[in-house]
Amino acid sequence: MSGLHAQTAPFVRDTMLPPEPPPAMQSGVVKWLRENLFSGWLNTILTVLGFVIIALLVQKFLPWFLHSVWDAGSISECRAIIEERWGPGAEGACWAVIRERWPQFLYGFYPAELYWRPVLAFGLLLIAIGPILFTQSQRAATSFITLVAALTFVSILALGQHNVLALVFVAALVAVQVFAPRRLMIFTLLYPAVGFWLLWGGSVWIPVVAVLGFVLGWLAFRLIQPAGGSILGAIAAVLVPVFWWLFAARLAAGALQGVVPLGIEAVRSDRFGGFVLALTIGVTGIGFSLPMGIVLALGRRSDMLLVKTLCVGFIEFIRGVPLITLLFTASLLLNYFLPPGTNFDIILRVIIMVTLFSAAYIAEVIRGGLAALPRGQYEAADALGLDYWKAQRLIIMPQALKISIPGIVSSFIGLFKDTTLVIFVGLLDPLKGITDAVRASIEWKGAYWEPYLFVGAIFWIICFSMSRYSMYLERLLKREHR
Amino acid sequence: MKKSAFLGTLAATTVLAGFASAATLDDVKARGELICGVNTGLVGFAAPDANGNWQGFDVAVCKAVAAAVLGDASKVKYVPTTGETRFTALASGEIDLLSRNTTWTFSRDTDLKFTFVGVNYYDGQGFMVRKDLGVSSAKELDGATVCIQTGTTTELNLADFFKVNNMTYQPVPINTNAEGEQQYLAGACDAYTTDASGLAATRAVFADPENHIILPEIISKEPLGPLVRHGDDQWADIVRWTLNALIAAEEYGVTSANVEELSKGTNNPEINRMLGTEGDLGTMIGLDKDWAKRAIAATGNYGEVFAASIGESTPIGLARGLNAQWTQGGLLYTPPFR
């Protein structure tokens, strides 16, 4: 057979043929389209339908965007300009309302000459959380902080309110990050006091004595623990600051202010509005609800009956009522019970309610994380001889929190968006409060979509950043081998 | 034991609250500031301008009271209130005075325990329709879809009106005025109903106001006015007579421009008594004799306030109508200053 073959086929190819290009239907765009958009008759129909819908939407809204007017004094002027440029009957977006009223959307009724303070407070906030956001990577933290500092510089300079001290302070923080990164955590711990002081202003001694309360608590713990044991120490560490804040702090702040009058112009809560309000409530709520949620989650899994009952009762009560109910309680019901003349700040009341609300949800998310840990982890911690808190801190929590990241961040995003509900207690949130206030002026009555789009876009940027960060964190902490 | 202690505390708190509310004037003076509840935003009546200063027809009442009591119209803290929070805010003492286009009704006056000190705007509910609908009277609206704000008196009035006239309608519930405009313009409803002043303001900012008409029927009485809590008659008197002073000032021709000059004395004893040149009306309500003069100087008389915020020279363009002086065929009629 082989001999026959050798005779009938004397030619043997000794070079490879150049490869043919794949058939047109199996390569490039066509292949992608066939596989992804037109792989069967159902998908083909759906694709065509999808394109038709997109085309309709574009046809409807594109002219509206293209006919945008940025420079006008009122909605009727906008309409006149659009008519003049694009003919009668043309519709267009009137972004002039944003151009004229953007400070109100961002700052509410915060005094215009003090806009640098919320900007600085926001910049400092990002700088303060920089080391926490990027614990794993020193370089990432440094570039993040430098970027934020630069943006803060630019924003404050753009406002034309160059406060040299503020700029020097920001620069100093960047220097700390570069040369002694761990020290920046001290600023992170102090940030709540700094942020409060920048936003509300007033005597510098109020935040100072408030922080002093924590120092006193720590001192009390250090003094009493050697003599009385850790339980007595812990009780003292709680009681001493509480007494300090309740009775002595106000007097001390007043006395210090009398001796060394230091302070900046005070801004009252009713001047807060827009994104300054939303971020104040949102960030404080996020900052305080996470530790509270952790404690509640641990309490709910505790073996101690009283602790467990209290935590379960709290979580189930808070999760059982709508947030608006809590807000109404904070704003209206509390007034009947507080002694008359008590000036319990409405923003503070709302922050407390939002924090409690969010803490209950976060507690359940974290409990899910705790439940997902194998029993072996707890037993291993016990076998190593760690006490309860050490086991939680070193073994349980790092794993449970890592599992819970998506849920926690979802809660945070939800909380931040829920801050718009404060309109129902008469606070001017950016979405409806400020929008309605702006529309209540005759110039801008009738500007319907533009403010919503503007506010929605800012919300989207903030929430999307949070979501992306959570994904980054998940990738970073991934330990499984899949 | 514990329970009784709690109840005792509660009772003490309530008693204290009672004492506190019995002297709103002292509270306001001690605070150096009037806390005034206003709308979160209603065109012409209450709205913050680009600098965050509140302006409008209802806001003027707050300013006048602050000028009369504290001598400075700018010493007002405005608390934006919603339809839900306004009454509780007043009842709980969070605000001293509510000036928020609130309709004076029997139950609000009695059951909710408020004192309406007067009427600063006589409003009524009307309808707006597109001209091409070919309707010229609200009685031809049988079977129409109507955009209506939920949870307001307008909703109840609408039901009454259609029932009385044996007609049916399809309600399209909306939440805010802005949403109502949008629904109406998008054609989701044939007619839009709200207070006539609101309809006028809404129509004024349409791109094509000439294609929309406001039907002649006014189907309800909406006397809007400022209100205070029950139980502090002195404070109610102060607010009532400040409002009356603004109205009377227009009747007697006292304006913000000439009040200074007229307060030196005129040959009209009524003006003299009001402005404190004669008698001591101010001390009778716990204020000084210049109280009315300050109020008028701060905001202008009723007519000036009306013209500046919602009158015919503004884009809202409301005619005086029922809100003219009684001498001009309107309903404004103040008791004498004597």
Is a pLDDT exceeding 90 seen at residue A331?
no
Residues 53-92 of A with CB under 8 A from B: 75-76, 79
Instruction: Give me the residue from A270, A440, A446 closest to B41, CB to CB.
Output: A440
Determine the residue of chain B that is closest to A345 in CA distance. Answer: B94
Higher pLDDT, A231 or B12: A231
Tell me the percentage of chain A whose pLDDT exceeds 70.
96
CB of A420 less than 8 A from some CB of B: no
For residues A177-189, average pLDDT = 87
Instruction: Give residue-wise pLDDT tens across range A387-426.
Output: 888 999 999 999 999 999 999 999 999 999 999 999 888 8
Determine the residue of chain B that is closest to A447 in CA distance. Answer: B178
Instruction: Give me the residue from B17, B42, B51 closest to A440, CB to CB.
Output: B42
All residues at 6 or more sequence positions from A339 whose CB lies less than 8 Å from its CB, including other chains:
B13, B16
Cα dihedral sign, B219-B223-B229-B233: negative
All residues at 6 or more sequence positions from B81 whose CB lies less than 8 Å from its CB, including other chains:
A426, B37, B38, B39, B40, B89, B95, B98, B100
Residue in A419, A412, A288 with CA at minimum distance from that of residue A347: A419
Separation between Cα atoms, residue B246 and residue B57, nearest integer Å: 12
Instruction: Give residue-wise pLDDT tens across range A82-120.
Output: 989 988 888 889 999 999 999 999 999 999 889 999 999
State which of A280-284, A475-479, B177-181 shows the largest mean pLDDT.
A280-284
Instruction: Give me the residue from A109, A426, A437 closest to B79, CB to CB.
Output: A426
- Among A434, A442, A444, A452, pick the best mutation site for testing chain B contact (most B Cβ within 10 A): A442
Instruction: Give residue-wise pLDDT tens across range B214-232.
Output: 998 899 999 999 999 998 9
Q: Which residues pair with B192 in a beta bridge?
A: B128, B147
Residue in A342, A387, A195 with CA at minimum distance from that of residue A283: A195
For residues A320-328, average pLDDT = 91
Separation between Cα atoms, residue B265 and residue B256, nearest integer Å: 16
- Among B27, B33, B40, B75, pick the best mutation site for testing chain A contact (most A Cβ within 10 A): B40
- A-B interface: how many C-beta pairs under 8 angstroms? 114
CB of B49 less than 8 A from some CB of A: yes
What is the maximum span of chain A, computed from C-alpha positions, in angstroms? Answer: 117
> In the numeric block, which tokens belong to residue B191?
């007619």
All residues at 6 or more sequence positions from A40 whose CB lies less than 8 Å from its CB, including other chains:
none
How far is the alpha carbon of B279 from chain A, nearest alpha carbon, in Å?
A: 35
Instruction: Give residue-wise pLDDT tens across range A108-164.
Output: 999 988 999 999 999 999 999 988 888 878 888 899 999 999 999 999 888 887 778
Topology (CATH level 3) of domain B125-220: D-Maltodextrin-Binding Protein; domain 2 (3.40.190)
Instruction: Tell me the three-class secondary structure of A168-180, residue by residue.
Output: HHHHHHHHHHHHC
- pLDDT tier at A481 (50, 70, 90 boundaries)? low
Q: What is the pLDDT of residue B2?
A: 43
pTM for the model stands at 0.85
- pLDDT tier at A341 (50, 70, 90 boundaries)? low
- Among B75, B81, B85, B318, pick the best mutation site for testing chain A contact (most A Cβ within 10 A): B85
Q: What is the pLDDT of residue B10?
A: 44
Q: What is the CATH number of domain A271-482?
A: 1.10.3720.10
Domain boundaries, chain A: 40-100, 271-482
Residue in B216, B56, B45 with CA at minimum distance from that of residue B129: B216
CB of B81 less than 8 A from some CB of A: yes
For residues A53-76, average pLDDT = 91
> Are B80 and A439 a contacting pair at CB < 8 A?
no
Q: What is the CATH number of domain B20-122+223-328?
A: 3.40.190.10
Q: What is the pLDDT of residue A8?
A: 66
Q: What is the pLDDT of residue B49?
A: 86
Residues 152-181 of B with CB under 8 A from A: 176, 178, 181
Instruction: Give me the residue from B17, B44, B88 closest to A442, CB to CB.
Output: B44
Q: What is the pLDDT of residue B178?
A: 83
Instruction: Give residue-wise pLDDT tens across range A438-460.
Output: 988 888 888 889 999 999 999 99
CB A413 within 8 Å of CB B148: no
- Among A84, A347, A445, pick the best mutation site for testing chain B contact (most B Cβ within 10 A): A445
Q: What is the pLDDT of residue B15?
A: 42
Q: Which parts of chain B have pLDDT scores under 70? A: 1-22, 151
Determine the residue of chain A that is closest to B20 in CA distance. Answer: A340
Q: What is the pLDDT of residue B1?
A: 37
> Are B92 and A335 a contacting pair at CB < 8 A?
yes
CB of B19 less than 8 A from some CB of A: yes
> Are A270 and B78 a contacting pair at CB < 8 A?
yes
Instruction: Give me the residue from B88, B207, B315 closest to A79, CB to CB.
Output: B207
How far is the alpha carbon of A286 from chain B, nearest alpha carbon, in Å?
A: 26
Domain boundaries, chain B: 20-122+223-328, 125-220
Determine the residue of chain B that is closest to A272 in CA distance. Answer: B52
What interface predicted TM-score (ipTM) does this complex get? 0.81
